A and B are shown apart, each in its own frame.
Chain A
Amino acid sequence: MLRSMVLPSLVLLVFTGFAVSPVFAETPGEVLAVFKAEASAKSGFQGFSAARGEAFYMTKHGHEWSCSSCHTDNPSEPGKHAKSDKLIKPLAPSANAERFTDMKKIEKWFKRNCNDVLDRVCTAQEKGDMLAFLLTIGK
Chain B
Amino acid sequence: MAVTVNNFPALIVVVMLVFGMGMSVAQADDEGSIIKVSNPKWLAECGACHLAFPSRFLPAESWREVMSGLDKHFGSDASLDDESVREITTFLVDNARRKKTSPTASGKWPLRITETRWFRSEHAEAASRVKNNPRVKSMANCAICHTQADIGDYSERNIQIPK
**A contact set with B: CB distance below 8 Å:** 81, 83-86, 104, 108, 111-113, 115-116
Contact = CB atoms under 8 A, between A and B. Distances in A.
Contacts of A81: 49-50
13 contacts: A83-B74, A83-B75, A83-B138, A84-B49, A84-B50, A84-B51, A84-B138, A85-B137, A85-B141, A86-B48, A108-B81, A111-B77, A115-B71
B140 interface: yes
B76 A86 contact: no
B50 A112 contact: no
Interface in B66-109: 71, 74-81
A111 B79 contact: yes
Contacts of B49: 81, 84, 86
Contacts of A116: 76-77
Which 4 A-B pairs give the minimum distances between C-beta atoms? A115-B77, A84-B50, A112-B77, A86-B50
Contacts of A86: 48-51
Contact of B76 (A83, A85, A104, A108): A83
Interface in B27-71: 48-51, 71
